[in-house]
Amino acid sequence: MKAIILGAGQVGFSIARYLVQEQNHITVVDHSPQVLDIISDKLDVQPVLGFASHPDVLERAGAKEADLIIAVTSSDEVNMIACEVAKCLFDVPMKIARVRHQNYLHSSWSEMLASQQLTIDVIISPEVEVAQTISRNLRVPGAFDVVSLVDESLKLIGIRCLAHSGIINTPIKHINSLYPNLDLAIVLIKRDEQVIFPSSRDHLLVDDEVYVVTLQEQLNGVMEAFGYSTSESREILIVGGGNIGLNLAIGMEKEYKNVHARIIERDAKRCEQIARFLKRTEILHGDALDYDLLQEANIENCETVIAVSNDDKVNILSSLISKRHGARRSLALLNNMQYASMVTSLGADAVISPKALTVSTILKHVREGNLQSIHPIAEGNVVVIEARARETSHIIGLDIEDVTIMSEIMVVVLIREDDLHFLPHRMNISANDRLIIVTQKESVHKIEKLFSIRPYYL
């Protein structure tokens, strides 16, 4: 695949790094020669100096032969115009643009972004991605990550192991016998900085971050097995009343009738502004690091604290302070992921990176091809793939054991017609089987080859 990335910032660099690893031909366009020098020194990419929306620059970048353009410059307007130019002048098949300002995405102007108006195939909004990620997590109290699979019938959930859980120190092969009414598969363990593809002999330890696949209707049972209770009345505290915090509160008022939400916002004018959009959410004016204010927010009874202010330090400290004073779970938004592992080791349950979510969403659209969905987890180091075996795929006739590679590729679920097989063994893969596979990110191309069509069928 030949792809052109417009913008060599952190998001553009991350996308280029992933695509280069998968043997794609990548050209990066930026107006800063210094930035291009850095990215071309570190990655095998073709640098092009110039403004991303200019036709002559796109022509020099090879837009006539490009399969894909990913526009992630710092300007929404440049991203949108560049996609228009790429389609109108060079007929690039796939155009993806990052659009950060919510005014463009407001429902009042939705017709402007319709396919018959603009030629952008996919629009990515970091704020929307963050809000959707947090909303998914809130649907499962206690989970720090939630991914829907197989048309919502399966869920992949990230859970931190608690000391009082009966699962602790139990060999994984005995967990299903301890909970015979639960269908679950433990697919990944993150222990300190180590990522482990578990075997049946492994044990779960306190503070392990565990990824589990289970049925949608068994979520509550799985969470209870890991020591998390589900209460009817829920207290949620949002730190920061910006666009993300406001949209979260609006969404909770619509979706969760049993949630009592509060927002802490230090800007008095912003408090007045967001109050106009909210009916049941309590708004507190002040500093989220002020313990007296946290007490007023009933921090000791909070199920979840969501720190999404514009200041990473406030998000880190407020999430840690909240956990220390009784909150059961805390999520912290970080623009700089340098301290992510330290924050979780100190007690925060999860960190959320707008840049990482943007990269993950873009890569999902780029990579899918013969795969139905791709979901990065564990800070992007591991990927969960959902794929269907077609009659002409290379994978047809292979045994599950032929696909599995220790500590690299694991087949988690095989769905054949209406039957689900968790951690299947000694099964030959047939046409129309759907598989959930967990793999190291470097091995995604191996899965793509397995599900690709045999050449003589083309």
Report the pLDDT value the prediction gives residue 106, as an integer from 0 to 100: 63
Can you name the CATH fold of 142-225? Answer: Alpha-Beta Plaits (3.30.70)
**In this predicted model, which residue has the larger pLDDT, 230 or 190?**
190
Average pLDDT over residues 256-262: 88
Quote the mean pLDDT of the chain: 88
Report the pLDDT value the prediction gives residue 230, as an integer from 0 to 100: 66
Average pLDDT over residues 150-174: 89
Report the pLDDT value the prediction gives residue 117, as an integer from 0 to 100: 57
pLDDT > 70 in the chain, percent = 94
Separation between Cα atoms, residue 199 and residue 266, nearest integer Å? 48
Three-state SS for 87-130 is: HHHHCCCEEEEECCCHHHHCHHHHHHHCCCCCCCCEEECHHHHH
The pair phi, psi for residue 352, each rounded to 5°, is: -125, 125
Separation between Cα atoms, residue 383 and residue 446, nearest integer Å? 12
Separation between Cα atoms, residue 229 and residue 66, nearest integer Å? 52
The CATH number of the structural domain formed by 368-457 is 3.30.70.1450
Report the pLDDT value the prediction gives residue 272, as an integer from 0 to 100: 95
Report the pLDDT value the prediction gives residue 457, as an integer from 0 to 100: 47
Q: Evaluate whether the domain defined by 2-124 bears CATH number 3.40.50.720.
A: yes
Q: Which of the four pLDDT bands, split at 50, 70 and 90, describes residue 458?
A: very low
Separation between Cα atoms, residue 420 and residue 424, nearest integer Å? 9
Inter-axis angle of helices 10-21 and 354-367, nearest 10: 40
Report the pLDDT value the prediction gives residue 354, as an integer from 0 to 100: 87
Report the pLDDT value the prediction gives residue 118, as an integer from 0 to 100: 66
Q: Exposed, middle or buried by CB within 10 Å (0-12, 13-18, 19+), for 180? A: exposed
Average pLDDT over residues 152-158: 92
Whether residue 367 has pLDDT greater than 70: no
What ranges do the domains of the chain cover?
Answer: 2-124, 142-225, 234-350, 368-457
pLDDT > 90 in the chain, percent = 54
**In this predicted model, which residue has the larger pLDDT, 421 or 110?**
421
Whether residue 107 has pLDDT greater than 90: no
Whether residue 99 has pLDDT greater than 80: yes
Can you name the CATH fold of 234-350? Answer: Rossmann fold (3.40.50)
Whether residue 454 has pLDDT greater than 70: no
Average pLDDT over residues 73-99: 93
The structure tokens 């969404």 sit at: 251
Other CB atoms within 10 A of residue 65 CB: 11
Whether residue 383 has pLDDT greater than 50: yes
Q: Which of the four pLDDT bands, split at 50, 70 and 90, describes residue 105?
A: low
Whether residue 40 has pLDDT greater than 50: yes
Whether residue 112 has pLDDT greater than 60: no
**pLDDT single digits (tens) 209-231:** 899 999 999 998 999 889 887 66
Separation between Cα atoms, residue 87 and residue 63, nearest integer Å? 9
**pLDDT single digits (tens) 231-241:** 656 899 999 99
pTM, two decimals, is 0.78
Average pLDDT over residues 261-278: 95
**pLDDT single digits (tens) 3-37:** 999 999 989 998 998 888 777 899 999 999 999 99
Other CB atoms within 10 A of residue 80 CB: 23
Whether residue 396 has pLDDT greater than 80: yes
Among 83-87, 93-97, 375-379, the least confident range: 375-379
